[in-house]
Amino acid sequence: MNIELEQLEIVKILLSVKDEVVLDKVKNLLLSSRKNEPISIEQYNQELNESEGSYERGQSISHKEVKSRSAAWRNAKDGN
């Protein structure tokens, strides 16, 4: 698969996401991957605190649920 098709596939997936937390995390991941530079200790601690806060508010899912969702997405993509 070429890069353009991969990008389109990602856009299609993102357009179906309704969870703002997931979208925020994807956005942060994409922005941080562009920098190619280490983050400061302050930034690290801020991100850690935000992540812990999300977890404490119940804005997380278990590893078992991630595996289940991944399998569902894979089956949907494969047409199963």
Mind listing the pLDDT tens digit for each residue in 30-80?
Answer: 887 666 677 889 988 999 999 999 999 998 888 999 999 898 888 887 776
Confidence (pLDDT) at 8: 92
Give this prediction's pTM: 0.42
Residue burial 47-71, b: 16+ Cβ < 10 Å; e: rest: eeeeeeeeeeeeeeeeeeeeeeeee
> Between 6 and 77, where is the model more confident?
6
Q: What is the 3-class SS of the chain, one letter each residue?
A: CCHHHHHHHHHHHHHHCCCHHHHHHHHHHHHHHHHCCCCCHHHHHHHHHHHHHHHHCCCCCCHHHHHHHHHHHHHHHHCC
